[in-house]
Amino acid sequence: MEENVSPKIIAAITSAVSAYRREQKLLQEKERPVMMPLQIEKVNLWAIAGRQEVVFQRRLWQMKIY
């Protein structure tokens, strides 16, 4: 190997290798599947109980009329 290599050439080679490695890393990250955490909604039991009560009362009312 020649020892009198220009610093500009060394900088260009280093920059090219660095850019190549960065690009390869980005491609690997894009190929990796992304696991999203499950979005679990909180259940409001009071709201469910209230809705059931409204439906039940309406049913009783309808049965009384008919």
Instruction: Kindly report, residue by residue over 11-66, the tens digit of the pLDDT.
Output: 999 999 999 999 999 888 877 777 778 888 889 999 999 999 999 999 998 888 76
d(CA 54, CA 46): 12
pLDDT at position 66? 60
d(CA 31, CA 23): 12
1 assigned to some structural domain? no
pLDDT at position 6? 86
pTM, full prediction: 0.43
d(CA 59, CA 56): 5
d(CA 35, CA 26): 17
d(CA 42, CA 30): 32
2 assigned to some structural domain? no
Could you list the residue range(s) of the whole structural domain that residue 42 is in? 7-65
Which tokens sit at 41?
């909604």
d(CA 7, CA 20): 20
